[in-house]
């Protein structure tokens, strides 16, 4: 329809206003820009036919109307574009070709997420996790040691990944609250359903089930003293995968058995009641005094665990085996309970440029303080949990697939940082966090926690050496543009209302401050001038003036935002006819001869004056209540 209208418009133009272009030497396609009746039209001429591209809105009307025809050549290759066209010969939104020189990598996507979050609004108060009194006699899934992105059911006898739709390649795992050191013990796991995935997603729904010791990673079978049976028909131990048993999936029930009464600890499995044999034999000397805990690791599927709380098992088990729930309480080993209150929880915010050693420090600090069970929220940990290992060595991913994985990992970390304040755990936020606004935004939701900032500013020589080591290990360097942006925005934090303590682990603050200032000055000289951002306050004032002209005067709760509203709602404003800009003078303009003749009566401006005065008073009360809420929570006046 729009194309026909354009053709009709072109046909209606005077013939002397359009000049045809004849150039037989040009074989490539060219675009035509047409100015007609104030409109700007763009057509593409290709292979003897005109294709409509777009029409821009007309500018303000002018006194004269004319039509002109302009030609602007866009070089192209007909053969290449014909290959990219669809079966009907038309092109359908081709993807922009990536520049080979364009640099991407882990630091690039981390910087994008950090820059985006630094400009975001302050987060709302976090929703606290539902508090329930734990019964120490029950064996359930442990919500304290499980992955932060594992969503347990209300009774804690099952669960599923929290971000299966957004991040379908992310594994989520959980252990039980109790483990065992002797006897013959078992439990069952059923795959309730495979979670739906987005159209075109190639990720599989998988479950890995087995046993592990406390303080091992949640990736079952990829750590020492961690033993798992994978749904692909594999067994995994310490990162080594071998074929075992059968494949399993939705509605299947896997039985897990641990025999401590033989010479070596034997771990066996069953599928739907069928015995699959012994998968692992563990030396008791190597295992030592460690207890084995039931462990599940799932991806894109929901599971249900039977520790013996059900009246009847899914399938019969050997008579000499007991469900772990039936083991006497004194013979079980309870994992440490979570902190009783947020005041006993701790959050460490890492601050430093890429390659300064933040991840190394966080991992070392976690190992030295195992009793606190720190959860490291960083891209490295998420990337590790997004990989699906197997017996075959994985080939390096293509550049586009690798960039997509890095981008997903960076976004997943941002999601985890948002939900972390709802739980009672200890966290380390392993990101650059060079933006002062980003530091504030991430720490504010952790109200009630002990909030510390760990700043790493090594000497310039050490930093260069660490960057080279990082490049060798990861095979990529930090893009220059990203490094310059981070240097230009690097701010050393100070103790304030949302920071309880600032720790400098490399150079002291007196030595780090001059170096950071030097980085800033060097970066700002090399960076291009930043684009002007829209002045939100001026835009708000503009909207206020527009609403005021409609009789809907905005009355904000803050005197320094919006136009001056001190006189609104006061009697003297309405009672003094001489006030410039008052409503009385405004409505007096309607008391003319033409207006009275049209309506047949005088205009009663007093009636509308009272109406708008009440209307403005209601809005004033609304904004005052809203600003009072933000002042109480965020500690400042006005809405931001």
Domain boundaries, the chain: 1-56, 150-334, 342-526
Long-range contacts of 588-597 (CB under 8 A, 24+ apart): none
| pTM, 2 dp | 0.67
Q: How far apart are CA 629 and CA 12, in angstroms?
A: 61
Q: Residues near 549 by Cβ (< 8 Å), separated by ≥ 6?
A: none
Q: How far apart are CA 221 and CA 227, in angstroms?
A: 5
pLDDT for 542 equals: 58
3-class SS of residue 228: strand
CATH, domain range 342-526 = 3.40.50.300
422: which DSSP letter? G
Is 543 in contact with 495 (CB distance < 8 Å)? no
Task: Tell me the per-residue pLDDT of 430-458, one tens digit each, with 9 for 90 and over.
Answer: 999 999 888 999 999 999 999 999 999 99
pLDDT for 305 equals: 97
Least confident of 11-25, 173-187, 389-403, 609-623: 11-25
| Of residues 317, 315, 302, 303, the one with CA closest to residue 259 | 317
Beta pairing, strands 178-180 & 240-243: unpaired
DSSP-derived secondary structure for 13-43: S-GGG------TT--S-EEEEEEETTEEEEE
Question: How is domain 150-334 classified at the architecture level of CATH?
Answer: Sandwich (2.60)
pLDDT for 73 equals: 39
| Of residues 242, 247, 237, the one with CA closest to residue 390 | 242
pLDDT for 620 equals: 72
pLDDT for 392 equals: 85
Q: What is the sign, positive or negative, of the torsion defined by CA atoms of 538, 542, 547, 549?
A: positive
Question: pLDDT band for position 92 (50/70/90)?
Answer: very low
Q: Residues near 428 by Cβ (< 8 Å), separated by ≥ 6?
A: 347, 348, 350, 362, 365, 366, 374, 375, 376, 377, 378
Structure tokens at 158: 């099952």
Cross-strand pairs, 501: 452
Is 495 in contact with 501 (CB distance < 8 Å)? yes
Q: How far is CA 90 from CA 52, 84, 87, 247, in A?
A: 12, 9, 8, 46
Structure tokens at 376: 């490291």
Q: How far apart are CA 370 and CA 453, in angstroms?
A: 20
Q: How far is CA 566 from CA 112, 224, 536, 612, in A?
A: 42, 70, 22, 16
């Amino acid at each position: 329809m729009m194309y026909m209208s354009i053709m009709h418009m072109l046909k209606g133009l005077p013939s002397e206003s359009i000049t045809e272009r004849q150039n037989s030497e040009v074989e490539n396609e060219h675009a035509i820009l047409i100015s007609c009746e104030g409109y700007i039209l763009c057509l593409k001429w290709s292979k003897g036919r005109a294709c409509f591209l777009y029409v821009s809105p007309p500018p303000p009307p002018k006194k004269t109307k004319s039509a002109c025809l302009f030609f602007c050549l866009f070089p192209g290759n007909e053969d290449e574009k014909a290959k990219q066209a669809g079966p009907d010969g038309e092109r359908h939104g081709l993807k922009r070709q990536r520049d080979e020189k364009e640099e991407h990598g882990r630091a690039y996507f981390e910087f994008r997420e950090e820059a985006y979050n630094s400009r975001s609004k302050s987060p709302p108060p976090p929703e606290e996790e539902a508090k329930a009194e734990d019964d120490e006699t029950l064996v359930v899934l442990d919500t304290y040691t499980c992955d932060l992105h594992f969503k347990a059911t209300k009774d804690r006898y099952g669960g599923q990944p929290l971000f299966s739709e957004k991040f379908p390649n992310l594994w989520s795992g959980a252990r039980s609250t109790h483990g065992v050191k002797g006897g013959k013990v078992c439990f069952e796991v059923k795959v309730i359903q495979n979670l739906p995935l987005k159209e075109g997603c190639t990720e599989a729904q998988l479950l890995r089930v087995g046993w592990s010791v406390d303080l091992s990673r949640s990736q079952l079978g990829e750590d020492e003293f961690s033993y798992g049976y994978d749904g692909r028909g594999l067994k995994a131990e310490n990162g080594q995968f071998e074929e075992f048993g059968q494949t399993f999936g939705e509605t299947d029930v896997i039985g897990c058995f641990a025999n401590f009464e033989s010479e070596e600890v034997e771990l066996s499995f069953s599928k739907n009641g069928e015995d699959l044999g012994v998968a692992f034999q563990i030396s008791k000397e190597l295992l030592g005094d460690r207890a084995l805990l039931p462990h599940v690791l799932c991806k894109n599927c929901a599971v249900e665990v039977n520790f013996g709380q059900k009246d009847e098992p899914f399938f019969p088990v050997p008579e000499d085996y007991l469900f772990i729930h039936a083991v006497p309480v004194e013979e079980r080993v309870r994992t440490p309970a979570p902190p009783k209150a947020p005041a006993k929880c701790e959050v460490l915010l890492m601050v430093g440029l890429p390659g300064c050693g933040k991840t190394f420090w966080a991992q070392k600090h976690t190992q030295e303080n195992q009793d606190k069970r720190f959860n490291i929220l960083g891209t490295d940990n998420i990337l590790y949990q997004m990989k699906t290992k197997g017996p075959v060595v994985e080939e390096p991913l293509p550049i586009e697939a690798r960039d997509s994985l890095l981008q997903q990992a960076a976004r997943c970390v941002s999601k985890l940082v948002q939900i972390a304040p709802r739980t009672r755990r200890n966290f380390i936020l392993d990101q650059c966090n060079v933006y002062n606004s980003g530091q504030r935004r991430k720490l504010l939701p952790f109200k009630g926690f002990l909030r510390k900032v760990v700043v790493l500013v090594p000497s310039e020589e050490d930093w260069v050496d660490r960057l080279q080591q990082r490049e060798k290990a990861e095979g990529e360097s930090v893009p220059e543009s990203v490094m310059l942006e981070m240097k230009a925005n690097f701010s050393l934090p100070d103790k304030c209302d949302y920071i309880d303590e600032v720790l400098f682990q490399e150079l002291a603050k007196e030595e780090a401050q001059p170096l950071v200032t030097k980085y800033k000055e060097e970066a700002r000289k090399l960076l291009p001038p930043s684009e002007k951002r829209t002045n939100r306050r001026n835009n708000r004032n503009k909207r206020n003036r527009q609403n005021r002209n409609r009789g809907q005067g905005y009355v904000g709760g803050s005197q320094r935002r919006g136009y001056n509203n001190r006189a609104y709602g006061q009697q003297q404003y309405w009672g003094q006819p001489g006030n410039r800009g008052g409503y009385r003078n405004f409505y007096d303009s309607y008391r003319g001869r033409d207006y009275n003749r049209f309506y047949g009566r005088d205009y009663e401006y007093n009636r509308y004056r009272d109406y708008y005065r009440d209307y403005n008073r209601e809005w004033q009360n609304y904004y005052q209540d809203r600003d009072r809420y933000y002042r109480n929570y965020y500690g400042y006046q006005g809405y931001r």
